[in-house]
Amino acid sequence: MMDLNLLRLVPILAKEKNVTRAARKANITQSAFSHALNRLREQLNDEMFVRTRNGMEPTPYAASMIPVIENALSKLEAATRGKGNFDPSRDPHTFYIGAVDYFEFMYMPALTAAFKTSAPNVRLSVDILSETIKFERVERGQLDAFIGVDNLQYIPQYFNKHPLISDHYVAIASVERTDLPEQLTLKHLVTEAQIHLPAVSSGADHIDSWLLDQHLYRPLTTVVQSYAVGGRVAVASGYLMCVPYRIAKELAAMMPLRIMDLPEGSPSYDLILLTHRLFDYQSALQWLINELKTVRID
């Protein structure tokens, strides 16, 4: 059986790139660290770290293990801490979050800036994964939380649901599309070629569902995986793209895009935070939930 005390040395050496410094960081002697590294190499049948001009660099196998080890150690730390208090100004912690593109685009800059002073040892790791994978990983404790879009997927009853932010949809297009009015009509939506970023991985989308209720469809010509790419495609092609308003403001500040209102009755975009009842009692996760619910997003 693998000794966890050996595995914890891997991310330390990957960061320090020097056995002497890594041993000091791990509070063991250099000799003990070197011996432990040799044991790892034997047990895992891999060189693990190779000396280069930039210091000790992990092999591809070792590099693939680092996030898994950090996640496991973080979970063990949280489990042994139990319901003890989490001090964000002092305690190191990595939160693993599955999220939609809206969260990464709008929340990560604000959270990173806030944590820089209030929680300097806290790190956020965000994965943009399918909803099924996110749910499964939260259930297994591999993700701390899942941030998704409300009313588009089934939410198991053992998840706690925390509303985060509500937005409304608008359309963006190149500033050269002066032929389009300030507020689009249903006719525009069903005749204008459009760029599509699915709200969830299944392809379900608020706009499409809203139109389908009226027995209408829109011509989707291009599917993208991020708002930033969608904005660039809109500039280059002249196509429309329906996005939440806050996203549209950011994109229009970066690119030659104009913002247009959608027809009356268009749906809202509601971002939600989902946590598992088995894990969200932990003080560190409770702190994160509060931070996510109170951070200011303009």
Rounded to whole angstroms, the Cα distance separating 163 from 148 reads: 10
Q: Is a pLDDT exceeding 60 seen at residue 44?
A: yes
Cα separation, 143 vs 275, in Å, equals 9
pLDDT in tens, 89-113: 888 888 888 888 899 999 999 999 9
pLDDT, position 177 = 95
Could you report the per-residue pLDDT of 184-234, keeping only the tens digit for each? Answer: 999 999 999 999 998 766 566 889 989 999 999 999 999 998 999 999 999
pLDDT of 171: 97
Q: Which two tokens stand for residue 278?
A: 């088995």
- Residue count of the chain, please give it: 298
Among 137, 165, 240, 166, residue whose Cα is nearest residue 197: 240
Long-range contacts of 123-126 (CB under 8 A, 24+ apart): 123/93, 123/94, 123/95, 124/94, 124/95, 124/97, 125/67, 125/94, 125/95, 125/96, 125/97, 126/97, 126/98, 126/99
pLDDT (0 to 100) of residue 106: 93
pLDDT one-digit tens code per residue, 161-181: 999 999 999 999 999 999 999
Q: What pLDDT is stored for residue 82 in this prediction?
A: 52
Identify each DSSP E strand in 32-158 by its residue range.
49-52, 55-58, 93-99, 122-127, 145-149
How does residue 74 score in pLDDT terms, banded at 50, 70 and 90? confident
pLDDT confidence tier of residue 84, bands split at 50, 70 and 90: low
Q: Kindly report, residue by residue over 109-159, the tens digit of the pLDDT.
A: 999 999 998 999 998 888 876 556 677 778 777 888 889 888 766 777 888
Single-letter amino acid code for the residue at 6: L
Prediction pTM value:
0.68
Residue with tokens 């308003």: 245
Q: Which of 174-178, 216-220, 243-247, 281-285 has the lowest mean pLDDT?
A: 281-285
